[in-house]
Structure 1
């Protein structure tokens, strides 16, 4: 029974791994949040040589207002690009209003745009700003309560906006905002010294987020603080940061930010300068958590009659792989593509997605691209699978002989195994080779699972018919007759059409394989298609479609081999 033990071991291993993701790495419950939250305090600019505080720079009203009402509380400069809507707040000179034109909250194209940045006073403030902090604290520098003068009334890719502020003591501060056609902002800061004494200033960039967002909570996906420092990726969790309060890195080049599943806000300082990058956390009494990430550059002295300049960049948008790779090459931002969590098998998952994307660009449908890439995988693995299926065909042809041996030596297990091994050797059959197709599919299965789970290109990507989001489970269920009965089954009963197709193909393929001679093993194999149907029903529809299609191709290949070998099907 060696061949059955090995096959069972392979299948049990597959189930254990998938159940591990579903059970051991199930989403954690999000931390409880107060029913009402006070308005967010403004972040405070970093001071050289001291921790970056997360405290109010000015008194804030204890009430939360509607987002539109919060936006109306200050004069603004509009942002209007092919992919972004938003505005720059002239009170503080910060970016605190940004929505993504190409991405909606639901697959409905009329649903609201994804809101990425929000102003202070709204329920979940999230904003970014750049500035200077002085070596001499008595020197006035622009802060969150500074009202800037704007040159230009709208920020577009071909139309920058310049903000100006005079500190009244001889220093003229200028912030020039530029944006490309996607999600990268370039902020160039200059300071002109019209006074009589030299001044030392430290450039900084920061982004502040109030309240911990809801996350997927899966082990295979990082959401939260993230950055690359001196070529090394760092991914502390929200909980790690809350426990430590402050995590600091010194780095030349790299970037720092906070990532959601599909969205990223990240700061990229001048890649040739050493900066001190910091993640910070604070939870004031009676208020929500505050997370901040920032960088502080080296001091620059501006002599009387001279001007100093510093440039920083802000990425605020969707984590599109081609875009991140392009920014990495264009601006030299180190390993920017790691903002997408391709995981430990990055070397396989990223190329897998890139190939899928190439096929998609040709056919225009990710579901069709999955079907095509499955055929390509089958073609690459054809020699191995063909050898395996031929071995399984020989095993099936030997079933009558195996049953005779079992009847003859049913009371002597050791002798039975010896006779079976002798039969395999005589017929030149390798009982282990039948497990190879199952084992080979495991890394491919998880590479596709990772691609479907983390890449934004799969979000809301339709297939045909009822599958309007390949990254989400099949929305139909046999328990309400696929929508004919007006009842919403619980999640564990959402057994849709595609999981049923997958389960049927698995059962059909099982019928072509050599059947166990042990009645207990027979029953075990009979329930496996049912188990996998319920299990995969909660997985992304794209993955279930891949599995069903892969099974169908395997059935066709195995059927042809068996027909040629003259084995009764």
Structure 2
């Protein structure tokens, strides 16, 4: 490998680093700054919104359950005031009457005390790949270890009062299924009847139709709300490419993402638990998301609403909440009025999310899945993998197929790049002669080299393209493997039972033959080693650099990358190894076609016998 090739490779590596730096500078940092500014402006925005709505009640205030766990069981005698008694999940579920929920994808129950949806277990997903692993628990009631629930209702000044978190509703059936909605009713002291029809589909969507039958003597004005509340800060991955926490799309404001720390900081800056407020949003949704699951409130997409991201630190642990408040509804005596809202509670499957966005007209609901800044590359990458997985029944094979198709797509560019590199190797003796002839005149040396490139029709930076082409593909595939639930627990062959997890084998215990566990730092499996070998072979196909430092860097780079990628998802390492193998075949073919010697065997012989490399010269 001549000096120009060395410069090209180093330039390609530097450009890949610049992608990370550029993303952080132009996107990550501005986003953090915008969030900080939003937090500082939150209080004034809230006051302005309140002034516009005059005395309109807001979710979380006195007239509706504040995010303070008002339905938590009272502290026993001698306990600290305001500290909830933690029960087992089973005991908390048994504390109140319930309507059972049963669909193809989930089981759980609806709490008749407060009409909360606070018990959801996902049938199709387990904690790990073991057959006896527990199913994923998404929502849990207050009183349990990790309360997480959704609630709907009304706020306003109504004679006889409104139903709240302690109101006991009556149900017309004891089980909710996709074929059998449940109707809940509650009547206040003034004779106003509140009814709620709860329907569910086979996937993850609840439809909530709230009605108010005004049998009082005067008209009443009520405002619909919906909220998702989570008690305590859950454990998160904390990786910058993935958002976990509060999320929503609020009309023209677009996507809003707040980590749990973001909301806590906003609360401390503004001195308010109310976070950030936007008024009069048309279209959108708010909720709380984990890596693979989410619970989101979806208000009526045709009428304005307010949305908030809040936290209350008044108890022994923070309570995070997202809520929406709809327009006021004035109902005359003897009349009935109502509103329809929805709750998504389940796994973030791409087809399901996209289907809801199309069928219900939910504004940018697909952003519930964190496709990232390179959305335009990441999502098509997923669709391609999902298509071939449907054909062959294996996401790992789909990765191999997509890699081949990408190679074919970029074949003209890669061929041109490799051909240019081959030409540079062919004129290497003349390049060395120019450098020796003008070694004391750098400017003249560069001029002569550029004339040589022009005369031989060589692009000196063409060698960067094979590396640069891989960068966006690598990022997109990494993102798909990291965030899409379809890749979770997706097997390949043999020991790879989860393409989204690292290769579980390790060379340090002979890939499981020795009976001891290897520390995570030293877990270097079969596929990372294969990737390192293919990278090593690809680099050894070219002449070794004369500079000893460059030679050491290029010699150890495959080893460094082997250890570095050992902790990456196995699917990504399989892609890189397969891509390297195809690149070796392609580069070897082009080098032979242009009559350039392939240095692989000579370089290996030198490595084994520890011979010193000969100076670059004419090749026979």
Shared fold per TM-score greater than 0.5: yes
Q: Tell me whether 1:278 sits opposite 2:308 in the alignment.
A: yes
Note the C-alpha offset of 1:533: 1.1
**Counterpart residue number, 1:43:** none
**Higher mean C-alpha deviation, range 50-59 or range 428-437:** 50-59
Q: Tell me whether 1:354 sits opposite 2:383 in the alignment.
A: yes
Q: Normalising to structure 1: TM-score of the pair? A: 0.90
Secondary structure of the corresponding residue to residue 295 of structure 2: strand
Q: Normalising to structure 2: TM-score of the pair? A: 0.83
1:24-63 aligned at under 5 Å gives the runs: 48-50=56-58, 52=60, 53-57=66-70, 60-61=74-75, 62-63=84-85
Note the C-alpha offset of 1:413: 6.0
Pick one of 486, 489, 493 that aligns with 2:518: 489
Contact 2:300 2:341 in 1 (8 A): yes
Q: Rate the CA distance shift 1:347–1:183 in 2: closer, same or farther, 3 A.
A: same
**Higher mean C-alpha deviation, range 336-345 or range 408-417:** 408-417
**Higher mean C-alpha deviation, range 114-123 or range 515-524:** 515-524
Q: Within 2, Cα distance between the matches of 1:441 and 1:454? A: 20
Secondary structure of the corresponding residue to residue 145 of structure 2: coil
**Counterpart residue number, 2:333:** 304
Q: Tell me whether 1:498 sits opposite 2:498 in the alignment.
A: no
Q: Within 1, Cα distance between the matches of 2:259 and 2:435? A: 57
Pick one of 86, 91, 94 that aligns with 1:72: 94
**Counterpart residue number, 2:136:** 114
Contact 2:106 2:123 in 1 (8 A): yes
Pick one of 4, 7, 10 that aligns with 1:5: 7
Q: Within 2, Cα distance between the matches of 1:309 and 1:228? A: 24
Q: Tell me whether 1:367 sits opposite 2:389 in the alignment.
A: no
- Unaligned runs of at least 5 residues, structure 1: 26-46
Q: Rate the CA distance shift 1:293–1:15 in 2: closer, same or farther, 3 A.
A: closer
Contact 2:250 2:256 in 1 (8 A): yes
Note the C-alpha offset of 1:15: 5.9
Contact 2:150 2:227 in 1 (8 A): yes
- Unaligned runs of at least 5 residues, structure 2: 29-54, 61-65, 76-83, 268-274, 599-620
Q: Within 2, Cα distance between the matches of 1:18 and 1:507? A: 25
**Counterpart residue number, 2:215:** 194
**Counterpart residue number, 2:297:** 267
Note the aligned Cα RMSD (angstroms): 2.3
Secondary structure of the corresponding residue to residue 477 of structure 2: helix
**Counterpart residue number, 2:496:** 467
Secondary structure of the corresponding residue to residue 316 of structure 1: strand
Secondary structure of the corresponding residue to residue 60 of structure 1: coil
Contact 1:403 1:517 in 2 (8 A): no
Q: Tell me whether 1:377 sits opposite 2:406 in the alignment.
A: yes
Pick one of 242, 250, 274 that aligns with 2:264: 242
Q: Rate the CA distance shift 1:15–1:544 in 2: closer, same or farther, 3 A.
A: farther
Note the C-alpha offset of 1:399: 4.3
Q: Tell me whether 1:230 sits opposite 2:263 in the alignment.
A: no
Q: Rate the CA distance shift 1:514–1:386 in 2: closer, same or farther, 3 A.
A: farther
1:444-459 aligned at under 5 Å gives the runs: 444-459=473-488
Q: String of CA shifts for 1:120-145, please: whole Å, max 9, x gaps.
A: 11100011111112224x53211111
Contact 2:225 2:325 in 1 (8 A): yes
Secondary structure of the corresponding residue to residue 107 of structure 1: coil
Note the C-alpha offset of 1:417: 5.0
Q: Within 1, Cα distance between the matches of 2:331 and 2:70? A: 26
Q: Rate the CA distance shift 1:128–1:199 in 2: closer, same or farther, 3 A.
A: same
**Higher mean C-alpha deviation, range 47-56 or range 384-393:** 47-56
**Counterpart residue number, 2:605:** none
**Higher mean C-alpha deviation, range 174-183 or range 479-488:** 479-488
Q: String of CA shifts for 1:36-69, please: whole Å, max 9, x gaps.
A: xxxxxxxxxxx93346232343553432111111
1:120-199 aligned at under 5 Å gives the runs: 120-136=142-158, 139-199=160-220
Q: Within 2, Cα distance between the matches of 1:408 and 1:346? A: 51
Q: Rate the CA distance shift 1:127–1:142 in 2: closer, same or farther, 3 A.
A: same
Aligned residue pairs total: 544
Q: Rate the CA distance shift 1:398–1:507 in 2: closer, same or farther, 3 A.
A: farther
**Higher mean C-alpha deviation, range 267-276 or range 51-60:** 51-60
